[in-house]
Structures are given as structure tokens and as C-alpha cells.
Amino acid sequence: MTDTILVETRDGVTIVTLNRPDKLNAFNEEMHLELRAALTAAGDAPSCRAVVLTGAGRGFCAGQDLGARDPAKMDGPPDLGVTLETLYNPLVRQIRALQKPVVCAVNGVAAGAGANIAFACDIVLAAESAKFIQAFAKLGLVPDAGGTWQLTRRLGEARAKALALTAEPVTAAQAVDWGLIWKACPDEALMEEAMALATRLSTGPTFGYHLIKEAIHAAATNSLDEQLDLERDLQRRAGRSEDYKEGVTAFLEKRAPNFTGKS
């Protein structure tokens, strides 16, 4: 392991920081692998009940490290499908499947796959100075890391196409107005707000949160009938959890619940 990713756990929250600030935290293979390892460890650790993903320095993430894509240093065109198959797609799937809430604190520019990795997280907060850029079209590429899926669902076809085709930046305020992210915060307050949110989530019924993630993800493609069936099945599981028992008991006893995240 090198230090392309920094990890710290505080009060039930694991803070994972992309740490290549001189490249605006652009992804190289090493950072991909270290990020995946950090998320696996966070998923496995009982001491972690929520994750914050952020970037070091003035940017969140500038997507793929283009230094590793210099055509002058290559024998022929690269197979970018391999990178997606082996690095970006597993990362997006891992974030979405993590059985703990993932809060993204977008501290600065999020470009290319960097923007779409942010959108893979469960709740996205951004510094007011941050921008989201679907930079792909400037390189002749297609938005990846789930970008075409996220943009189309969150914004509709008109805005999704315009952003993907023009690669124009979207400000944090615009991203909130359009429903692309949850909240924009003053730059200096971003980490405090992200930590407050993640800490609140980390003391909540985290088993139930994982079921909520599953239901909302499935809603993107399910019919209403399918979703009603899924809600029945998930509620059955939630209703058997320690946290449900504690939540109802605490309500009836007029006290704050003490959730453990146990199923």
C-alpha cells in the first residue's frame, strides 16, 4: 500500500480521502485498488457504520489520470473497456452495494469519472465552489462509471444529453436545483456538515439503511407491482431486526433509541 488513499475512523464514521492532490485526485490503478481495499475494510469493520468519501487538496477527483493515456507512449489505441470492466465498474458496484451509508463530500471540482463516482454515493454534499463536469466529450469519450445512467435518471434526457455533449460545468447550487445532489455547503463548513450527517447515520438503524438502499436502487427499474413485492420482503427482514424492536420499544418508553445495526 502507498498513500493514494487516506483512511481514518472516528466515532463510527470511516473517512476515506482520495489523496493525489497534485493531480486533482485523478485515478491511477493504484488509487483504484487502494480505494476498493479501503471500502472493503470499511464494509467489514464493525467499528464503521457510515463512510465519508472526499478528496485531498482543492479538487475532489478529475477522473482518469490522463498521464497514463498518452498516445505518444503507447503502441496503439488502448482498450478502455478493460479499465471499465476491471476498475471503474467494480468500484461503482462496490459503493452502491456497501451495506453502510456512503456520504460524499465533494470538496472541489469533480470531473469525468470523478463526478460519476460521487453520484454513485448515497448522499452527496458539495462545497459551494465545487463543479461537476462530464469531461468525457472533450476527449471523444462516453460518460462512464454509471454517468449515462445517473444523469438520465436524475435529470431526464434533455439535461443529461446537454451536459454529456457539451461537457459544460454544473455548479454545486445548480446541481442541487436540478436534483443531481443533496446539498451545497459553504466551503469551510463542508467537512463539518458531512461528518455531522455521517455521524447521525452511524448511530441510526444501519441494517434498515442497507435495506432502504436496496429498495431505492431497485425502484429505478422495477414496476410498481415488483416494487410493492420487494418492499414487502424487505420490510419482513427489517421487522425481524434488533433495531426495529429497539425503535418501537424506545418510542413506547419515550426515550432515545440505542440502535446497534444488528439484523
The C-alpha cell at 88 is: 471503474
Q: Which amino acid is at 136?
A: F
Could you give the string, one character per residue 115-134, with x where binding to ligand T3D holds by CB under 6 A and - elsewhere?
Answer: ------------------x-
Interface with ligand T3D, residue 23, by CB under 6 A: yes
Residue 171: which H helix or E strand, with range?
A: strand 170-171
- Single residue of 113, 120, 172, 184 touching ligand T3D by CB under 6 A: 113
Half-sphere exposure of 233 (CA within 13 A, CB side): 9
Closest distance to ligand T3D from the beta carbon of 17 (Å): 17
Q: How many whole angstroms separate alpha carbon 207 and alpha carbon 101? A: 10
Interface with ligand T3D, residue 147, by CB under 6 A: no
Phi, psi at 211, each rounded to 5°: -70, -35
Of 132 and 259, CB closest to ligand T3D: 132
Q: How many whole angstroms separate alpha carbon 10 and alpha carbon 12? A: 6
Could you give the string, one character per residue 83-112, with x where binding to ligand T3D holds by CB under 6 A and - elsewhere?
Answer: x-------------------------x-xx
Site for ligand T3D in 154-173 (CB under 6 A): none
Site for ligand T3D in 197-216 (CB under 6 A): none
Q: How many whole angstroms separate alpha carbon 207 and alpha carbon 83? A: 33
Closest distance to ligand T3D from the beta carbon of 4 (Å): 13
The DSSP result for 4-39, as a single string, is: SEEEEEETTEEEEEE--GGGTT-B-HHHHHHHHHHH
Phi, psi at 132, each rounded to 5°: -115, 125
Of 143 and 205, CB closest to ligand T3D: 143
Site for ligand T3D in 45-84 (CB under 6 A): 62-67, 69, 80, 83
Three-state DSSP class for residue 217: helix
Q: Could you tell me the sign of the dihedral formed by the alpha carbons of 58, 7, 18, 109, in that order? A: negative
Helices (DSSP H) in 89-223: which residue ranges? 89-97, 113-120, 147-155, 157-166, 172-177, 190-202, 206-219
Could you give the string, one character per residue 26-45, with x where binding to ligand T3D holds by CB under 6 A and - elsewhere?
Answer: x-------------------
Q: Which residue is nearest to ligand T3D (CB)?
A: 63
Interface with ligand T3D, residue 144, by CB under 6 A: yes
Interface with ligand T3D, residue 18, by CB under 6 A: no
Longest pairwise C-alpha distance within the chain? 70
Of 35 and 48, CB closest to ligand T3D: 35
- Contact residues: ligand T3D, CB under 6 A: 23-24, 26, 62-67, 69, 80, 83, 109, 111-113, 133, 135-136, 139, 141, 144
